[in-house]
Amino acid sequence: MIATESLSKRFPRVTALDRLSVDVGPGVTGLVGANGAGKSTLIKILLGLSPATEGRAEVLGLDVATKGGAIRERVGYMPEHDCLPPDVSATEFVVHMARMSGLPPTAARERTADTLRHVGLYEERYRPIGGYSTGMKQRVKLAQALVHDPQLVFLDEPTNGLDPVGRDEMLGLIRRIHTDFGISVLVTSHLLGELERTCDHVVIIDGGKLLRSSSTTAFTQTTTTLAIEVTDTDDHPDGTRAVRDALHARGVDVLDGSGGLPGAGHILLLTAQGDETYDLVRDVVADLGLGLVRMEQRRHHISEVFTDSEQGSEQSTDAQRKEAVGHGG
C-alpha cells in the first residue's frame, strides 16, 4: 500500500522526517508518534502535496512526486483539525466533497447517503453542521474521507477530543472500515494503547526517524500490563493483599501498583503472559471468594515505548512501570 525509501523532509530549521524507510501493507496500520514527530508531514508527502527533500515514496504503487493527482483520487484523507463549514448540512457538504473527488452528481448523492449511514449519522444529517457534537463532526469528517470509496484512507488523529465512549465507537468504526468496507487504513495517534487494539500493524516514529515497525501481536506480548481491583470481604478484610499473596504463591509477581496516586493502593498490576494469566487471576479471585471489580489492560503511553527501546527492552524497570501507572487509565 505504502512504501517509503529513506524519505527525508527538511525545513530551514527543523528536520521533520529523517531517512524514513517503511513498508505498509493492506489492513489497519497505526502511525504513532508524539506531537511533532512528523506524522502529519508524512501524510502530506504521501498525498503528493509537499515534495520530499530526499528519498522516494509510493502509495498504491504510484510515485508521490509525479502521480499526486492519481493518488488523491484513490485515497481519502481525514484531517486532524476542524474542517467543516457550520452553515451547511452534512449531506450537502459530503455530496460536494464527493463531487470534488470526481463522482458524478447522482453517484455522489447515493454514496453520501450510504456513507453517512455507515458512519452512524441518520436524521441529523439534514441539519446544519454547526449544531453537531464533536463526535458527530468526527463522523462527518470520516464520511467525507470515505465517500468516494477510496482504496486507502489516511486518518489523522480521529479520536482527538472524543470522550471514552466516543473513542471506542470511533475505533470500532475504523476497524470496520477495513473488515467490512475493504478499505485499508493508516491512522495516526499519539496514544499507542488505543491503536494496539485496533491496528494490525503499528509504525512508531519519533523525531522523523523510524523507531519501530511491527505487527500488534508482537507489541502486546511485551507490553501488556493487567490492572486488577477486587472487593474486600469479612474473610479477607484486605482483599488486595490476599490476592497479591495468593498470586505470589502461584509464582506470579505482582508489580508495585501504589504509584503515589489516591486509590492506587487497591489496584494490582501484573504482566500478562497470555490467556493463562487471565484464567489464573479469575481462579485465584474466585477461590478467595472475592468480587472482581476490574481487570483491564492498561493503556500504554507512547513514552514508555521510547524509554523501552532506548534502554533495551530487557531492562524495563519498576520505575518505568510506575510511570506507566501515572499515565495509564
Partner 1 sequence: MAVEYPTATQSGDQTRIHNIGYRSYDGPRLGRSYATRSLYSQSLRGAYGLGRSVKSKVLPMLLFVVMCVPAAIMVAVAVATKAKDLPVDYTRYAIIMQAVISLYVASQAPQSVSRDLRFKTVPLYFSRPIETADYVRAKFAALASALFILTAAPLLVLYVGALLAKLDFADQTKGFAQGLVSVALLSLLFAGLGLVIASVTPRRGFGIAAVIAVLTISYGAVSTLQAIADAQSLGDGGGSSGAIAWIGLFSPVTLIDGVQSAFLGASSAFPGGVGPSSGEGALYVLVTLGLIAASYGLLMRRYRKVGL
Residues within the interface to partner 1 (CB under 8 A): 40, 43-44, 47, 49-50, 69, 72-73, 75, 77, 79, 81-88, 92, 96-97, 99-104, 107, 111, 114, 118, 128, 144, 148-149, 180-182
Name the residue nearer to partner 1 (CB basis): 110 or 256.
Answer: 110
> Which of 142, 144, 196 lies closest to 174, judged by CA?
142
Residue 324 CB burial class (10 angstroms; 0-12, 13-18, ≥19): buried
Name the residue nearer to partner 1 (CB basis): 82 or 235.
Answer: 82
**Vertex 115, ends 183 and 89: CA angle to 5°?**
140
CB of 43 vs partner 1, minimal distance in Å? 7
CB of 12 vs partner 1, minimal distance in Å? 14
Q: What is the dihedral of CA 256, 260, 264, 269, to 10 degrees?
A: -20
CB of 249 vs partner 1, minimal distance in Å? 45
Name the residue nearer to partner 1 (CB basis): 100 or 218.
Answer: 100
Name the residue nearer to partner 1 (CB basis): 55 or 79.
Answer: 79
Name the residue nearer to partner 1 (CB basis): 69 or 251.
Answer: 69
CB of 224 vs partner 1, minimal distance in Å? 32
Q: Which amino acid is at 206?
A: D
CB of 107 vs partner 1, minimal distance in Å? 5
Residue 236 DSSP SS3 = coil
**Rounded to whole angstroms, what are the CA distances from 260 to 26, 230, 264, 322?**
43, 19, 7, 9
Name the residue nearer to partner 1 (CB basis): 99 or 327.
Answer: 99
CB of 16 vs partner 1, minimal distance in Å? 13
Q: Where are the alpha helices (DSSP H) in 119-229?
A: 134-146, 164-179, 192-198, 216-223
Residue 61 DSSP SS3 = coil
> Which of 223, 173, 213, 218 lies closest to 193, judged by CA?
223
Name the residue nearer to partner 1 (CB basis): 73 or 168.
Answer: 73
Name the residue nearer to partner 1 (CB basis): 182 or 291.
Answer: 182
What residue ranges in the chain does DSSP mark as E strands?
Answer: 2-10, 15-24, 28-32, 54-59, 62-63, 75-78, 152-156, 184-189, 201-206, 209-215, 225-230, 267-271, 292-297
CB of 198 vs partner 1, minimal distance in Å? 18
Given the C-alpha cell 470481604, which residue does it identify?
Answer: 233
CB of 159 vs partner 1, minimal distance in Å? 19
Residues 119, 173: contact at Cβ < 8 Å?
Answer: yes
Q: List the 62-63 sheet strands across, edge first.
A: 15-24, 2-10, 54-59, 62-63
